[in-house]
Structure 1
Amino acid sequence: MVDFSVVICTYNGASRLPQVLERLRSQLYTQTFSWEVLIVDNNSQDDTARLVQQYQADWLPAVPLRYVFEPRQGLAYARRLAVQTVVSPLIGFLDDDTWPEDTWVSAAYQFAQQHPQVGAFGSAIRGSYEVLPPPNFQRIACCLAVIQRGAEPFQYSAERGVLPAGAGMVIRRRAWVDCVPEQPSLTGVCGSSLDAKGEDVETLSYLRSGGWPIWHNPHMQLFHRIPKARLERGYLLTLFQRIGYSRYPLRMVRYAAWQRPLMVGLHGANDLRKVILHILHTRQLTDLETTEACERMLLYSSLLSPLYHWQSQIGQGLSWVPLQARLRAKLRSRLGSGLLQRLCS
């Protein structure tokens, strides 16, 4: 039996995996328990498989390094294969661009032993930026898996929407098997596409609905490498749009079917309120700086999230772009084109 499995889900990660594997090779204080590393290759087209074979030839004798291939594109599918593959009671997920400190594995294992009732817990994550991020970036950094939430462990409140990042998340396998369905609503990042962001929140929402507490463990430290391209305005706006669009299925996880029509209306009213408050707070309708523009995009796409998902479920032949255009035209006739342009910019 293995006590702890470190899982790295990767897509075309041949250039990124060495940094993560070298950090795992030098982990400290792991002599009192057994652990392994599993690479889940999510349909890579580069030399990921060959790279893993090279590391397997010269890896730690007491720590198995295993490899599996998942042809279905999407992080949610890669993680489900990992859960099916490992037999250890604890699974720690790393991304191929997150670098664990040399005590990350031991800190994760010890926390799980001290808190046996916890279903999942997340890491503290520092950003390693290729270039300087935009002004006030700390307000939105958590959406890029940069998590700094104090020096003491705590349980995430069920009343707030805050949850750990998927990178650096440790899940008790029994909690996953009991609560997480085989088919995800959101498939997660597919290659370079951000269309189905939110799979981590979906998973944690299932655990929370199943009665498993979720915690933050600041003693598990990671560094997240963020390249220049992910700090550009265009990428950030697309990222926050996709996060907003994912809000509807994530919110509905916690409600019974009969409750959902009412809750859609309540969430929609609250989203509209937040859009108006953001406009009043910034005192600007256009020419927002990058951080504020990302916040506005998140609120706007959260408001439209039910429509985005309904059109994909009801009519696969419908395109979201024409539907969005029709919605804008309808609103323009009610509000006036100038006001609508400012609200959506």
Structure 2
Amino acid sequence: MSLDFTVAIPTYNGATRLPKLLEKLLQQSNIKHLNWEIIIVDNNSKDATAKIVESEINNWQYSYPLKYYFEAEQGAAFARQRAVREARGELIFFLDDDNLPDTNWLAAAYIFGKEHPKAGAYSGQIHGAFEGEPPENFDKIKQFLAIREHGDKPHLFDADSLRLPPAAALVVRKQAWLESVPSRPFLTGKLPGVMVQGDDYEPLLYIHKAGWEIWYNPAMHTYHQIPQWRLERGYLLTLARGCGLATCSLRMVDVKNSQKPIIILRTILGNLRRVAFHFIKYRQQLKTDLIAAFEMEFFLGSLFSPFLFLKTSLNRRK
């Protein structure tokens, strides 16, 4: 039997974070009349995640079930694919294990989905909950840490310009995903030693190109828990490069082979220009201004992204 919605939590080494998220889900309001479930997809964790979830399941006393699935293929994209396969809900509410929902998040998400039947995916406001003080001018790059505050009016995302919501607190319509998204992603998500991003956006681009709408719903509020180490220079610059490296691969989603050389050329020339102008403007501050250095790393990653796309494409053909 199909349920109203599924809350899907992909996790990797989330033993210390999952209990707090489950507690937040138990505090949700205005959903007693709905049929739903919680599924946790353990993406090959090395910590006590499985034991923590097993303990939660053994002590579970609620009408909506809590289920555990193990996904051995590493990468957030594979964990999301597994969640979609296992979900019984018409709507799938993805929550990262470090993204805590407001008490009305589930109700607001469900209502929006019912009011917008053409919405294949939608997200809301994601606020930062910082362990430490963000760097100066952090607002310029906060979207790279899945912080999204786009005002108080609903609107469609500009998917053609790669302006899309992250997967941290994303709702997808199961029908839209199954009809549109390939079973094998091109971008897999972060792997040990590899920080290439873009796995959030790839399925959304397929959903958009299949004719579904992608919305911003400001009534949905979540809070992204950001530890101090994610605000340090080394991590941020690695993140910036990883986001940039996904640029060309994302622009190649569902395009004809005849268009690919043009996209590659435009990506290289456009980012050569951005790198040159940024260096001229900030060359004296790149070692001291973290935000300027972050932007340079993103531009460099975008410049090299066509070569990563070509390499990955060749490896997939072997």
| TM-score, normalised relative to structure 1 | 0.87
Gaps of 5+ in 1: 317-345
Aligned-partner residue type, residue 149 of structure 1: H
Aligned partner letter, 1:275? V
Q: In structure 2, how many angstroms separate the alpha carbons of the residues matched to 1:193 and 1:30?
A: 41
Deviation at 1:315, TM superposition (A): 7.0
Give the match for residue 278 of structure 1. Answer: 278
Q: How many angstroms does 1:285 deviate by?
A: 6.7
Over 3 Å counting, the alpha-carbon distance change for 1:265 and 1:43 in structure 2 is same
Q: Is the counterpart of residue 84 in structure 1 residue 85 in structure 2?
A: yes
Distance 2:105 2:211 in 1: 26
TM alignment of 1:54-203, pairs within 5 A: 54-190=55-191, 193-203=193-203
The answer to whether the Cα contact below 8 Å between 1:194 and 1:239 also exists between their aligned partners in 2 is no
Q: Distance in 2 between matches of 1:116 and 1:314?
A: 39
Per-residue CA shift, 1:142-196, capped at 9, x if unaligned? 1111111101111012443211011100000011001100111011123x54433
1:8, CA displacement in angstroms? 0.5
Equivalent-residue separation in structure 2 for 1:130 and 1:247 (angstroms)? 30
Structure ID, larger Rg = 1
* Residue-by-residue CA offset, 1:307-327 (whole Å, 9 max, x unaligned): 1332454479xxxxxxxxxxx
Percent of counterpart pairs with the same letter?
41
2:285 touches 2:292 (CA, 8 Å); kept in 1? no
Q: Aligned ranges for residues 208-287 of structure 1 at < 5 Å?
A: 208-282=208-282, 284=284, 286-287=286-287
Residues 279 and 285, structure 1, Cα contact 8 Å, conserved in 2: no
Asked if the contact 2:286–2:292 (Cα under 8 Å) also holds between the matched residues in 1, the reply is no
How many pairs are equivalent? 315
- One-letter code aligned to 1:264: I
Q: Is the CA contact 1:195–1:242 (under 8 Å) kept in the aligned structure 2? A: yes
Deviation track 1:108-133 (CA, whole Å, cap 9, x = no partner) reads: 00000010111100121111111101
Distance 1:201 1:158, change over 3 A: closer
* Alignment gaps of 5+ in structure 2: none
Deviating above 6 A after TM superposition, structure 1's stretches of 4 or more consecutive aligned residues are: none
SS class of match (1:186): coil
Residue 13 of structure 1: SS of its match in structure 2?
coil
RMSD: 1.7
Give the superposition deviation at 1:60. 4.6
Report the equivalent of 2:42: 41
| Partner amino acid, structure 2, of 1:207 | I
SS in 1 for 2:29: coil
Separation of aligned partners in 2, 1:120 and 1:210:
12
Q: How many angstroms apart in 2 are the aligned matches of 1:69 and 1:295?
A: 37
Alignment-derived partner of residue 11 in structure 1: 12
**Cα displacement string for residues 58-92 of structure 1 (whole angstroms, at most 9, x for unaligned residues):** 33522111111101111111111111111211001
TM-score with structure 2 setting the length: 0.94
Counterpart of 2:167, as a letter, is: G
What displacement does 1:205 show? Answer: 0.8
Supply the distance in 1 between the matched residues of 2:163 and 2:34 (Cα, whole angstroms). 32
Q: Indicate conservation of the 8 Å contact 2:11/2:43, yes or no.
A: yes
Tell me which amino acid in the other structure corresponds to 2:16. Answer: S
